Amino acid sequence: MPSFVSATRALKRRLGTVVDTSESGCWAASFDSSKISFLPEAVITPRKEADVGVVLELANKHRVPVTVRGRGTTLMGSAAPIAGGWVIDMLRLNRIKIDTEAGMAHVQAGAKNGDVQRAAEKAGWFYPPDPSSKEYCTIGGNIACNAGGMHGGKYGVTRDFVIAVRGFLPTGEFVEWGTATKKFAAGFNLRDLWIGSEGMLGVVTGAVLKLLPAPAARWTLLTAFADEAKAIAAARALFRLRVQPAICEFLDRESVICAERATGRAVFAGQPNRAVILLELTGAISEVKEVSKVVLGWAKEHALAHRAARTRDEAEQLWQVRRKCSGAMFELGDTKLNEDIVIPMRAYGKFMRFLAGLKKSSRLAIPTFGHLADGNLHVNIMFHRGDADESRRAEAAVAKLMQTVVSLGGAISGEHGIGLAKTPFLRIQHPPAQVGAMQAIKQALDPNGILNPGKMFEVYEVWKQPKLAIHLPWDHK
């Protein structure tokens, strides 16, 4: 790693104690949930948004690589400082202000998703994007990766709720894309260019988010099916009824077994080894009441068993099945390739047949769960990193998975982004002209290549690297 000693000294003179060069501080910022460590030279925790501009001004002048992080919940290595340099830790920038009249949230990048949701709810509003790591992940990170969550099918993803973003160009110059109005047609839409750009085009320090009126009613239903094919067929039958659930979560049999072992409870007594679909309806009381009748009729026709929650506490118990399954998968292998692919609804059946064949040919456990309402499935290829043969089979399985997803008209990522882990597959999704256009935009906005270098366009095979022997609090969320 090149030495940036003089640049770091200049940074300390400008910003003082917010610059941390201690071994422990740099270590803590050296990895994200990919658990691959790259030590930076310094970690900066800004006290105010203008501090970010100072960091970028000096970084651009001295050609110091800069990586931005929130809580590091990304699974793709997006926040891992692969080139060393400086890390900007956004957690102090966490203000949240709700505009109850306009239905907007004014937030800083370090505000946690769950805190934004609670602030909105307290004011009678609703912020739908809800990644599984919502109690940890930050709005800045959500914007960087265009995060989604279980509510995506009905309400949309982060991009659908960002009214405006502000932050700094790689030069340290302040910019604001959009403003706190419901309409804005003044110039190019660079706001959406920043959303999903994984901190490679600029640094988001704050945003204005759209809120919705809080739904008056919620209704939760858990349904069981003999196998994955029957569950998928039933889901498509439900969508043909023009039912649009707020949440429609699918868990295959492997995922359910993992969740049952983690919770110590059967999902359905007397119904072992079943695939499940977990539904939630939201809306006006009369609307939810009417649509729930349709859904119960569907469940009686298609499901082996079903159970509706009578209270919010009962609903929370049903949701534990979904929340526990991911972390519990590590009993199947010490390493997980969590591939958040997206499949068009018309191809659900073909994809599930492919997945069954992949499990058989790879001889690996591949528990799968995800969001059926928008086709975003989490395919978890489990293996033991120390087993060379299993590692090779996992590598071959993920390559075959990505090729099949694109051939079916799908996407290699729905909400996790590209980062380090999916760089080998970007060119499966995008032909040379499209990748070239992306690289041209990167070159135009960041000609010195200081922002999050080594990501997206350069292949770095994360699963082949030794992982850190640590446990992160959101690993089992």
122 membership: H or E segment, kind and range: helix 113-122
In this prediction, residue 89 has a pLDDT band, given cuts at 50, 70 and 90, of: very high
List pLDDT tens digits, range 374-411: 999 999 999 998 899 999 999 999 999 999 999 999 99
How far is 133 from 340, CA to CA, in rounded Å?
Answer: 14
Calculate the average pLDDT of the chain. Answer: 93
Does 272 share its domain with 373?
Answer: no
Which residue shows structure tokens 């925790």?
45
Task: Report residue 384 as tokens.
Answer: 């033991």
Identify the pLDDT of residue 322: 81
Q: Are strands 96-99 and 174-177 parallel, antiparallel or unpaired?
A: unpaired
Identify the pLDDT of residue 117: 97
In this prediction, residue 165 has a pLDDT band, given cuts at 50, 70 and 90, of: very high
How far is 29 from 11, CA to CA, in rounded Å?
Answer: 18
Identify the pLDDT of residue 462: 65
Does 171 share its domain with 132?
Answer: yes
List pLDDT tens digits, range 186-229: 999 999 999 999 999 999 999 999 999 999 999 999 999 999 99
List pLDDT tens digits, range 37-80: 999 999 999 999 999 999 999 999 999 999 999 999 998 999 99
Task: Report residue 408 as tokens.
Answer: 């079916």
Domain assignment present for residue 343? The answer is yes
429, 433, 435, 437: CA torsion to nearest 10:
-140
Domain assignment present for residue 477? The answer is no
Which pTM value belongs to this model? 0.93
Classify 274 as helix, strand or coil.
Answer: coil
Name the percent of the chain lying above pLDDT 90. 82
Handedness of CA 271, 272, 277, 281 (dihedral sign): positive
| CATH code at position 28 | 3.30.43.10
Question: Which residue in 243, 329, 332 sits closest to 293, CA to CA?
Answer: 243
Q: What is the largest CA-CA distance in the chain?
A: 71
Domain assignment present for residue 470? The answer is no
On the question of pLDDT at 1 being above 50, the answer is no
For 64, the domain range is 5-91
Residue where a domain terminates, one of 213, 246, 269: 213
Identify the pLDDT of residue 400: 97
User: Strand 42-44's sheet: what is its strand order?
Assistant: 19-20, 42-44, 86-89, 66-69
List pLDDT tens digits, range 105-133: 999 999 999 999 999 999 999 999 999 88
Does 60 share its domain with 139?
Answer: no
Identify the pLDDT of residue 476: 47
| CATH code at position 314 | 3.30.70.2190
Does 207 share its domain with 226?
Answer: no
User: Strand 376-383's sheet: what is its strand order?
Assistant: 305-308, 217-225, 275-283, 247-251, 368-371, 376-383, 335-342
Domain assignment present for residue 390? The answer is yes
Task: Report residue 30 as tokens.
Answer: 């050296």
Average pLDDT over residues 439-447: 97
List pLDDT tens digits, range 229-279: 999 999 999 999 999 999 999 999 999 999 888 888 888 887 788 999 999
User: Strand 162-168's sheet: what is its strand order?
Assistant: 96-99, 104-108, 203-210, 162-168, 174-177
On the question of pLDDT at 474 being above 80, the answer is no
Domain assignment present for residue 429? The answer is no
Residue where a domain terminates, one of 294, 324, 354: 324
